[in-house]
């Protein structure tokens, strides 16, 4: 049993380490490519189709890392996957900073984005075992807040690039240095956290194949598809239309991602929103937020009335939906909380892989406006088709129970 003094120490160290890891991996690691698409287009003569494929490649890294993280977590404990992810982020961001061509850029994006797949579920495991029940919600909230702060910080770095006349390569060099510091901090914090003695039953993955999980997987897939398309193309679309009045066009992506991160802090209110609205209505509203966000990029890309609500609604959509997936999966499979959340994230990653590649080809074929309107239809249809019986929270019987 962990004493109170050691519990406080674990609370502080794990919260800080998790905050740093998610800030790096879900900030510049997962979002950085979309933030700098205009610069990458110019430097490497990339078409919209090429942008879509490079973005999808990054999400392939995210998908594969989710699988690897679960295996490493069971065999080696949380330290191994988290450090692997931060090492990948450091190497990937460094490669992007020095990339001489689009092929090296793509490899760097792949490695950097894979860090997000390594970072999340290991901290859920560490917090579950090392922090007392009363402090777990606060610790997990602090860790998840790293995502929004990381996105906003990446946006501020891009804004500084424009205001100070710096090269995008300098920004990625700073990202790589920050990732290296986070790597050292997590190495120090996670060394005392041993591997769980329980492991994961071999039949556990099969236990997740349950009819009650179908709506969860569908929502996760749609969410992943919509958010990845937005991350990859929204800022670039606004830049192509001249940005918004009163600021330099080159500063538009930074503004989009700063607002995205700031409004994403709403994710900390997800539990209260669910209690007030119920899960079915919360999911409908979050899907509609994603739909309106994408539609505004299509119809008002060069206006403040489009940029601010679009970026803000996307931040709400992404951060609150990810929180919903975490507690929804845990309620459905209470004996497999980490594995069921990993399964939901895999569905998200699958949508993130497919979405940008298809959207890039569609944009070149029919134009960005039509592509974003088509993207908006996906979450809108999900919201309309979702019924109360689909958003079940009652536990499913599992083979591991």
Query: For residues 366 and 6, which has the higher predicted lDDT (pLDDT)?
Result: 366
End-to-end CA distance of the chain: 24
| Residue where a domain terminates, one of 197, 218, 248 | 197
On whether both 144 and 181 belong to a single domain, the answer is: yes
C-alpha–C-alpha distance, residues 257 and 259, integer Å: 5
On whether both 180 and 289 belong to a single domain, the answer is: no
Asked whether the beta carbons of 116 and 32 are under 8 A apart, the reply is no
Distance of CA 309 to the CA centre of its chain: 20
Query: For residues 329 and 368, which has the higher predicted lDDT (pLDDT)?
Result: 368
DSSP state of 134: G
pLDDT at 399 over 60: no
C-alpha–C-alpha distance, residues 307 and 324, integer Å: 25
On whether both 189 and 265 belong to a single domain, the answer is: no
On whether both 227 and 330 belong to a single domain, the answer is: yes
On whether both 163 and 297 belong to a single domain, the answer is: no
Q: Give the predicted TM-score (pTM) of the model.
A: 0.86
DSSP state of 194: P
pLDDT in tens, 381-390: 999 998 766 5
Split at pLDDT 50, 70, 90, the class of 401 is very low
C-alpha–C-alpha distance, residues 82 and 120, integer Å: 8
Per the structure, how many domains does the chain have? 2
3-class SS of residue 198: coil
Asked whether the beta carbons of 76 and 22 are under 8 A apart, the reply is no
On whether both 183 and 253 belong to a single domain, the answer is: no
Q: Which domain holds residue 94?
A: 1-197
What CATH number should be reported for the domain holding residue 382?
A: 1.20.1250.20
- Work out the number of other CB atoms within 10 angstroms of the CB of residue 327: 16
Angle 136-164/252-263 helices, nearest 10 degrees?
170
> What pLDDT, on the 0 to 100 scale, is given for residue 394?
64
pLDDT in tens, 265-298: 888 788 788 888 888 899 999 999 999 999 999 9
Asked whether the beta carbons of 387 and 280 are under 8 A apart, the reply is yes
Alpha helices per DSSP H over 165-213: 168-190, 204-207
């Amino acid at each position: 049993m962990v004493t109170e003094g050691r519990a406080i120490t674990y609370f502080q160290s794990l919260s800080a380490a998790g905050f740093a890891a998610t800030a790096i991996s879900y900030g510049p690691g997962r979002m950085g490519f979309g933030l700098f698409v205009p610069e990458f287009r110019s430097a490497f003569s990339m078409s919209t189709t090429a942008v879509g494929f490079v973005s999808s490649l990054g999400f392939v890294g995210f998908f594969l890392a989710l699988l690897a993280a679960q295996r490493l977590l069971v065999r080696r404990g949380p330290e191994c996957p988290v450090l692997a992810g931060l090492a990948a982020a450091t190497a990937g961001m460094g490669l992007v900073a020095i990339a001489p061509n689009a092929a090296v850029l793509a490899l760097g994006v792949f490695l950097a984005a894979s860090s997000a797949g390594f970072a999340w579920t290991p901290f859920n495991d560490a917090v579950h075992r090392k922090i007392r029940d009363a402090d777990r919600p606060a610790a997990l909230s602090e860790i998840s807040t790293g995502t929004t702060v990381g996105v906003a910080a990446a946006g501020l770095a891009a804004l500084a690039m424009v205001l100070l006349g710096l090269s995008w390569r300098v920004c990625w060099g700073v990202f790589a240095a920050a990732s290296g510091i986070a790597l050292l901090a997590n190495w120090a914090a996670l060394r005392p956290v041993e591997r769980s003695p329980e492991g994961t039953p071999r039949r556990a993955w099969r236990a997740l194949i349950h009819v009650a999980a179908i709506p969860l997987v569908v929502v996760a897939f749609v969410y992943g598809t919509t958010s990845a398309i937005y991350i990859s193309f929204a800022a670039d679309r606004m830049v192509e239309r001249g940005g918004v009045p009163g600021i330099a066009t080159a500063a538009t992506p930074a503004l989009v991602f700063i607002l995205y991160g700031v409004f994403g802090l709403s994710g900390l209110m997800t539990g209260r929103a669910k209690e007030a609205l119920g899960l079915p209505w919360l999911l409908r509203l979050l899907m509609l937020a994603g739909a309106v966000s994408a539609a505004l990029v299509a119809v008002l890309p060069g206006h403040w009335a489009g940029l601010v609500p679009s970026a803000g609604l996307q931040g709400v959509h992404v951060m609150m939906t990810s929180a919903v997936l975490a507690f929804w999966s845990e309620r459905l499979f209470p004996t497999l909380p980490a594995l069921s959340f990993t399964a939901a994230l895999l569905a998200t990653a699958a949508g993130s892989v497919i979405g940008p590649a298809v959207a890039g080809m569609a944009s070149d074929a029919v134009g960005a406006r039509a592509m974003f309107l088509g993207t908006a239809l996906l979450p809108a249809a999900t919201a309309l088709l979702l019924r109360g019986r689909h958003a079940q929270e009652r536990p499913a019987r599992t083979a591991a129970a």
